[in-house]
A and B are shown apart, each in its own frame.
Chain A
Amino acid sequence: MSSAIDISAFHGTDPVLAIAEEVFTAMIDGEPGLVRPWTGDVPPLADEMHAWVDVHGPFPGRVLVSTEAGTAQDLARALLGMGADEAVSDEDLVDALGEVANVVGGNVKALVADPHALGLPVVDRARPATRPEDLLHSLPLDWRGRLVEVGLWTLP
């Protein structure tokens, strides 16, 4: 994917940030949106959850959304219009984080030259195996004060 997306070609704007803002505003928060670029040092995630989708084609890549399980639960509550005290089932938790990755990934796919297909979302507590040299773009986001990371990776 690295030769298919050149973030620097977007004239100082980050297309992935624009996609993330649109996804969170439309699906989760409503206008004016509550997701911002993370400022300051990015802390390590505890009790991690990861969701990713793969873009197949001549420039295969992966769009990875990572956050903490508690944040993922709040994302699911917001997506489903649930109250802060309502319990989120494991099925809804996995499904909600996967759908966030799916929608972000689907829109990132449109930035890729000649994409062929978008894979189905995968959600796991373990970060998928990646090589540091394959990281194309990392975008730490502040959602309601919590860290949500979006990463674009090339796939070998």
Chain B
Amino acid sequence: MRALVIDDSRVMRRIVAGTLTPLGFETVEAGDGRAALDLLESGVEVDLCCVDWNMPVMDGLQFVTAVRANRAWRDVTLMMVTTESEHGQIVRALAAGAHEYVIKPFTADAIRDKLQLLGLVRQEEPA
């Protein structure tokens, strides 16, 4: 599995990537939505995009809208990872085509739980 981590903060990209790697993801990174689209358009294939909302050049909502408008990327799972926590913003992102929504600050467990719900990470076997 490969994940594209999109955030204008390099530190946050490293934190998100560091959460995904132990879950079995190879990660690639982009600093804004436009750079992420460029990667996808260049043929980089990913299973998951973790998308910040507030970024320069192209924000996360614009990125989600652009990805959902292209049938070639219909199988890509989109998960917002953002400080935007108002109900209206969550509804907007989901309506635009995001599959899941994680509010910063998050824990590694929160990311894992969302990915399990999405079927991208196996449920833990009961002890």
Cross-interface CB contact of A96 among B11, B104, B105, cutoff 8 Å:
B11
A27 touches B15 (CB 8 A): yes
Q: Which of B8, B55, B85, B105 contacts A27 (CB 8 A)?
A: B105
Q: Report Cα–Cα, A21/B39, bound state, in Å.
A: 37
Q: Is the interface of A mostly helix, strand, loop or mixed?
A: helix
Shortest Cβ distance from B86 into A: residue = A110
Cβ contact within 8 Å between A103 and B83? yes
Which B40-96 residues sit within 8 Å CB-CB of chain A?
54-56, 82-86
CB-nearest residue of chain B relative to A28?
B105
The answer to whether B54 touches A118, judged by C-beta atoms less than 8 angstroms apart, is yes
B56 A91 Cβ-Cβ under 8 A: no
Q: Which residues of B contact A118 (CB under 8 A)?
A: 54, 83-84
How many A residues are at the interface, by size bracket?
A: 20 to 34
Check A2 for interface membership: any CB of B closer than 8 A.
no
Question: From residue B107, how far is it (CB to closest CB) to chain A in Å?
Answer: 5
Which residues of chain A from 105 to 156 have a CB within 8 Å of any chain B CB?
Answer: 105-107, 109-110, 115, 117-120
**Contact partners of A117 in chain B: CB under 8 A:** 54
Complex interface: chain B residues within 8 A of A79 (CB) = 11, 15
| Interface residues of B, dominant DSSP | loop
Q: Which range contains the number of B residues in contact with the other chain?
A: 20 to 34
B105 touches A26 (CB 8 A): yes
Contacts of B84 in A (CB 8 A): 106, 109, 118
Are A105's CB and B83's CB within 8 A? yes
Q: Mark A65-82, 1 if CB is under 8 A from B, else 0.
A: 000000000001001110
B10 in contact (CB, < 8 A): yes
Given contacts A105-B83, A107-B83, contact A81 B11 (CB under 8 A): no
Q: Cβ of A92 and Cβ of B11 under 8 Å apart?
A: yes
Give the CA-CA distance A154 to B15 in the complex, in Å: 31
CB distance from B46 to the nearest CB of A (A): 23
List, sorted by A's number, 25 A–B pairs whose CB atoms are closer than 8 Å: A22-B105, A26-B107, A27-B15, A27-B104, A76-B11, A79-B11, A80-B11, A81-B18, A92-B11, A95-B10, A99-B12, A102-B83, A102-B104, A106-B82, A106-B83, A106-B84, A106-B104, A107-B85, A107-B103, A109-B85, A115-B86, A117-B54, A119-B54, A120-B8, A120-B56
Task: Please give the residue numbers on chain A whose beta carbons come within 8 Å of chain B beta carbons, in ascending order.
Answer: 22-23, 25-27, 76, 79-81, 91-92, 95-96, 98-99, 102-103, 105-107, 109-110, 115, 117-120
